Structure 1
């Protein structure tokens, strides 16, 4: 019993000593405030706002040259046909979520980034309502992964 407890304490001290953090729980203490520029109704920007609030980062209402800025230039969703039913209807799509953004740190040149996230989506015209809800869930998941990826990039830069 004591040996297990001692082993568990040793492993916990090793993990905390090496700087391990749970994913999605990144400290952004090097950015006390940031300016976020995006489209007015961007769902990705809303998710980033939430992530910044969770990390106690103040969102600035206007650009300031002595503060970092994040510009969401574009986020698009494309569909590519992967397979067809025998009658010619689309059976499976590949969803491609593309994000382009720019980070500018004080006294530095802006750095541009882009990435793509992929998901397969099976379509069934006989279950249109269920498939529409499934598509919405997939899009929400893609946006959450994109927001997490942008936050991780910011944490690396700091």
Structure 2
């Protein structure tokens, strides 16, 4: 019986590895041995990307070198659009729009520019201002995490 369990476990692991399965956050970035990230000072998105690149064994360079790719985070902005109002005219619900623009410059190549938008709905309540401010911060952190994941997937697709 123990032998059958070992064979099933071995078969399952071979099946998962042959289909290209990777653990979440573990992306094949072997084609990037080193990279330079250029961004605005104290960019939280840049910090997230740096941590993810280091986790995937990409060396982060202190300065730009022509022999290594450069990821330039041009900007990331949060906009909000009114979706609905209370009967007294105060905003009841917003749509948050997180926009990210970045460029990737490969060694001896021209920069390729990318941009995308992420959307979330946010219900506002003026009676719960402190709690809603904290909720907005958490939602923005989640949007940044999602943006970093999206950029990492884009980098993994490039060969």
Q: Give the shorter-chain TM-score range.
A: over 0.9
Query: Distance in 2 between the 1:43 and 1:53 partners?
Result: 15
SS of the residue 2:120 aligns to: strand
SS of the residue 2:42 aligns to: coil
Q: Note the alpha carbon deviations across 1:47-76, whole angstroms, 9 max, x for none.
A: 111111211211111111111000000100
Structure 2: gaps spanning 5 or more residues: none
Query: Distance in 2 between the 1:111 and 1:17 partners?
Result: 32
Query: Distance in 2 between the 1:89 and 1:64 partners?
Result: 52
Determine if the alignment matches structure 1 residue 77 to structure 2 residue 78. yes
Structure 1: gaps spanning 5 or more residues: none
Aligned-residue Cα RMSD (Å) equals 1.5
Query: Distance in 2 between the 1:24 and 1:110 partners?
Result: 25
Query: Distance in 2 between the 1:77 and 1:132 partners?
Result: 14
Equivalence for 1:145: 146
Determine if the alignment matches structure 1 residue 122 to structure 2 residue 123. yes
SS of the residue 1:16 aligns to: helix
Query: Distance in 2 between the 1:103 and 1:75 partners?
Result: 15
Equivalence for 1:47: 48
Q: Note the alpha carbon deviations across 1:16-51, whole angstroms, 9 max, x for none.
A: 112211232113221111010000111101111111
Query: Distance in 1 between the 2:6 and 2:84 partners?
Result: 54
Paired residues, number: 158
Query: Distance in 1 between the 2:156 and 2:71 partners?
Result: 13
Equivalence for 2:99: 98
Query: Distance in 1 between the 2:123 and 2:82 partners?
Result: 10
Equivalence for 1:134: 135
SS of the residue 1:64 aligns to: coil
Query: Distance in 2 between the 1:61 and 1:8 partners?
Result: 44
